[in-house]
Amino acid sequence: MTQPSDSPIGEPAAPLPAAGRPPVVKIEDLHKSFGELEVLKGIDLEVAAGSRVTIIGPSGSGKTTLLRCVNYLERPSRGRIYLEGELIGHKFVNGRLVEMADRELARMRANVGMVFQRFNLFPHLTAVLNISLGPIQVLKMPKAEAEELALELLAKVGLAHKRDAYPEKLSGGQQQRLAIARALAMRPKLMLFDEATSALDPELIGEVLRVMRQLAADGMTMLIVTHEMQFAEDVSDRVIFMDQGVIVEEGGPHEMFRAPQHPRTQAFLRTVLER
């Protein structure tokens, strides 16, 4: 008989049936607090393989914290997150639920690519080395193979001519496209985008969104936080509106943007779409 766990994540869900593919991400009753401030207040969410789920909402609603919990950059205060049916951050040892070792957690994180508001590139490395470093060090890919992959990804994001450029010689839009290529080099099962265009000048936003649109067209599983409402409507399978740490409303992009049901969603969209 399994012993009770003292972990804040609680008891794990029953094993998945043999038939049927689990969602890429499954989030159950996720809570996150920073001291006395509760930022996430019980999030339940599933993201199916190949789907594009966009999260919208006002600043401070918990959107970024949710993404950071998904790849365990922030440890949940309570709740469970599964990646393709495997619990992230904890495992069973002798019938008890214990925290994963850093190496095991790094293995799971490698399956989740994240693109931040700021580019987080290595300033001392060229574009091709920024991309190839992760596959070499984490995936143990031979250097020649990793560099070949890096060149393919640079071409994919429209930066083939910048292979030897350092980040400081790239525009903001080019740096963000390089950051996307670097995340893709790890061959993730899921891509997280946290306001990927918010640090860019208006004329550079389009070039990053074009890359993200192409990823969506290629079938990449994506969980996206954005203030770009037209982009969200165009590429999403599902749109989620968050406010004050909870999911207020969710639905297809047409119904969410054309006929939202909740008064808070209506007020938010009325404000952002009139700007």
Task: List pLDDT tens digits, range 180-201.
Answer: 999 999 999 999 999 998 888 8
Does this model's pTM top 0.85? yes
- Please, what is the Cα angle at 53 between 48 and 58, to 5 degrees? 145
Query: Which residues contact residue 145 at a Cβ distance below 8 angstroms, ignoring those fewer than 6 apart?
Result: 135
Beta-carbon count within 10 A of 91 CB: 16
Q: How far apart are CA 107 and CA 110, in angstroms?
A: 5
Q: How far apart are CA 193 and CA 210, in angstroms?
A: 14
Task: List pLDDT tens digits, range 215-269.
Answer: 999 999 999 999 999 999 999 999 999 999 999 999 999 999 999 999 999 999 9
- DSSP helix, strand, coil percent of the chain (3-state; round to 5): 35, 25, 40
Cβ distance 32 to 73 under 8 Å? Answer: no
DSSP 75-103: --SEEEEEETTEESSEEEETTEEEEPPHH
pLDDT above 60 for 12: no
Residue 45 — φ and ψ, nearest 5°? -160, 140
22 vs 268, more confident: 268
Cβ distance 42 to 80 under 8 Å? Answer: no
